[in-house]
Amino acid sequence: MSSLVKCPHCGLRPREEFTIRGEVATPRPDAGADEALWFDHVYLRDNPRGEHREYWHHSGGCRRWLVLTRNTLTHETSDVVDASTLKLGERA
Amino acid sequence: MRYSALSLLGNAFSKNKNWKPAWRNPDPKPHYDVIIIGGGGHGLATAYYLSKVFGVRNVAVLEKGYLGSGNIGRNTTIIRSNYLLEGNNPFYEFSMRLWEGLEQDFNFNAMVSQRGVINLFHSDAQRDAYTRRGNAMRLHGVDADLLNRDQLREKLPFLDYENARFPIMGGLMQARGGTVRHDAVAWGFARGADQNGVDIIQNCEVTGIDRDGDQITGVQTTRGAITCNKLAMAVAGSSSHVAKMVDMRLPIESHALQAFVSEGLKPFIDRVVTFGAGHFYVSQSDKGGLVFGGDIEGYNSYAQRGNLACVEHVAEAGMAMIPALSRVRILRSWGGIMDMSMDGSPIMDRTHLSNLYFNGGWCYGGFKATPASGYCFAHLLANDTPHETATAFRMDRFARGYLLDEKGVGAQANLH
């Protein structure tokens, strides 16, 4: 469930310690990139029913950005990793 | 049968044995002029106005569960039209005017109660913001009154005026706001639409959408294939899920919102009151239970339930506003899925497919909009042009930069 999140640095912590950024649909485009790319990045979402990868910030703890793999239908979290372990620009 | 005092009396004399179901339970026909996906408030209202005002009667409403099982039966029943922005205000006021005549119009007791909605403010800056909103409302012909602390004390003596952190300085009141019995709204629209010949088909989930080029030809459902001339989506909460069937990605996230009802109490809160220093809104039902709610959960969710962190947060906000709530017991809580759009405002528009129409993104403000949403969506379906009060709810406003962001928080769905 989403009441407790297993931070890879701090262990099992309550949801209140986290700030949720949510799905990052596409990698952030270059500053000069086409408007359509920016529109997609800023506004459009996959918003799947089921498995969902999303950014959470442990703002009330270690202040690390995490990537959760969480099921939006059951609220089960299957995986949590530090966001820095993803390659730069890799789709979360 | 038309409901009236006479019909009530007649049925009483025949020992209430002759009441008929309020709507039919038909099997789907092979073809309809218009298919509306979603038998919630907005879908039923659309069918009602489509058949009544716009003369389109060969219509089906497809509902995956039972009628009224979604957000129309899960909200906190508040109606109001206290919006700031030009694109929003006339639409919500149109909705308020429809609410005011709704029960006579669809011959059903929806218990529309214009008991007044009061938004509290707690700082000079907030008073200025509310004054601005009140003035904007008045410029649009909507009633708005700024109450100072003494005027507020007369109306709501039980608030925590001397709260050390968030003292209550006053409130913005819309006296015409209030509450409506939410289930009755679904039932009234369903009955009205049914009487006009609309087929309301329950337990019929759309599993696929058939296309021929940029034309929709029909839908695949759990009760077989049905063809149509026009297809309308009114599935707020699951918009992204259904839109995916036609490869659409939307500026929408689905989030869970909880609502609560307390044990029955004697008459205590005779208006709708909202906290200005946190997110909390409360009214008292005719049965005596306090009906209240707060923020969405914050994470994407398609589960119709929330978590304890939000329960605690809502209870804390309620306590900060009304300390007398401390020993009130919560009877039930439940959750619904909100279509959170990227600017906090709804979308009602045509789509990239020529005969597919979209209605969604209502965030957690869909209930108050039910009649106007139905009316305007029916207008769009019948005429292919938006109703004059719904011209700002375009799908492409995000790409064009014409956002309708009442709160001014940007493209972060969980902050709206």
Q: Is B352 exposed, middle or buried (0-12, 13-18, 19+ CB in 10 A)?
A: exposed
Exposure on the CB side of residue A92, measured as CA atoms within 13 A? 29
Q: Is the pLDDT of residue A88 over 80?
A: no
pLDDT in tens, B282-339: 999 999 999 999 999 999 999 999 999 999 999 999 999 999 999 999 999 999 999 9
Q: What is the mean pLDDT of residues A19-37?
A: 88
Contact between residue B178 and residue B79 where contact means Cβ atoms under 8 Å apart:
yes
Interface test mutation site (partner A, options B250, B252, B302, B394, max chain A beta carbons within 10 A): B302
CA A85 to chain B, closest CA, distance in angstroms equals: 22
Exposure on the CB side of residue B386, measured as CA atoms within 13 A? 18
Closest by Cα among B140, B151, B147, B155 to B81: B140
User: Which residues of chain B carry a pLDDT beneath 50?
Assistant: none
**Full domain range(s) for residue A20:** 4-88
Contact B302 A49 (CB under 8 A): yes
Contact B249 A44 (CB under 8 A): yes
CA B308 to chain A, closest CA, distance in angstroms equals: 7
Q: What is the mean pLDDT of residues A30-46?
A: 93
Contact B254 A72 (CB under 8 A): yes
Residue-level pLDDT at A92: 47
Domains held by chain A: number? 1
CATH code, A67: 3.30.2270.10
Percentage of the residues of chain A whose pLDDT score is greater than 70: 89
Q: Helix or strand or coil: residue B356?
A: strand
Angle at A38 between CA A75 and CA B398, to 5 degrees: 80
Return d(Cα B110, Cα B88) in angstroms, integer: 25
Answer whether A23 touches B (CB < 8 Å): yes
Task: Closest CB to A23: pick one of B250, B300, B313.
Answer: B300
Contact B254 A49 (CB under 8 A): yes
Contact A47 B250 (CB under 8 A): yes
Q: Which residue of chain A comes nearest to B342, CA vs CA?
A: A43
Answer whether A75 touches B (CB < 8 Å): yes
